[in-house]
Amino acid sequence: MSEQSPAETALLTQQLESPDLRDRMVALASLRHVPADVALPLIKKVLNDESLQLRSMAVFALGIKVTPESYPILIDILANDPDYGIRADAAGALGYLEDIRAFEALVRAFYEDTDWLVRFSAAVSLGNLKDPRAFDLLMRALDSPEILLQQAAIAALGEIKAVSAVDRLVLFIESENWMVRQRLAEALGQLPTPKSISALKYLTKDSHPHVSAAAIICLQRLEDKEDPK
């Protein structure tokens, strides 16, 4: 990542203050090439922008441009922003940070936020943290009527290596939603048990090509671990 000259930083600052939304969006997107310590004050300029799309981009950027300030800013947005989409973005960005301090805030968001999208992002990020303390929460999320929340919980249980969840997870093997079955295959690929292998063998014959392909790859991964060359 190249050093940013004062002139380049000044130009980005000017663009981020432009009345033209397109200018602000282009400038924010350009920050991916800028060191985190230089990018952060520029990102902060648009965190309260009138455009929700731009705000969403800025929140996401905080999860990529990691500085000591990123975490507390995201925690505050997750707890207090009035827009559920922005709160969901903050929950997702906390997962990108992979900062274990976010565990309690994400759990609180899952249980207390009234919008399922925020709860979905919190569940995904809890998987990203790979903290086994999320087990009970994720098992509860499996019972959600929201299919996307079920998918997030299945994937996250794989991420936290919750082998004890396999008996519950395999109940999704006949789900009508192929994306649930794909997430199941991917999760089972991280949970080495005889039941996981049996379920993956079944899923290799799934009618949806994405599911069968995922099952084949994950089954091979488990079998390679069982029989290392």
Is this structure's pTM higher than 0.75?
A: yes
Q: What is the DSSP letter of 66?
A: -
Residues 6+ apart with CB under 8 A from 45: 13, 16, 17
What is the pLDDT at residue 1?
47
Transcribe 141-174 into DSSP letters: HTT-S-HHHHHHHHHHHHHTT-GGGHHHHGGGGG
The tokens of 37 are what?
Answer: 């310590």
Token pair 């396999």: residue: 166
Per-residue pLDDT tens digits for 35-70: 999 999 999 999 999 999 999 999 999 999 999 999
Residue tagged 């500085």 (tokens): 67
Short-list 136, 156, 147, 146, CA closest to 114 = 146
**What would the pLDDT profile of 193-216 be if each residue is shown by its tens digit?**
999 999 999 999 999 999 999 999
Which CATH topology does 142-228 take?
Answer: Leucine-rich Repeat Variant (1.25.10)
Reading the block at residue 52, the tokens are 């929700």
Q: What angle do CA 168, 174, 176 make, to 5 degrees?
A: 120
Average pLDDT over residues 145-173: 97
Interval 172-183 mean pLDDT: 97
| Domain coordinates in residue numbering, the chain | 142-228
Structure confidence at residue 145 (pLDDT): 92
Average pLDDT, rounded, for the chain:
94
CA trace torsion 49, 52, 56, 58 (10° rounding) = -10
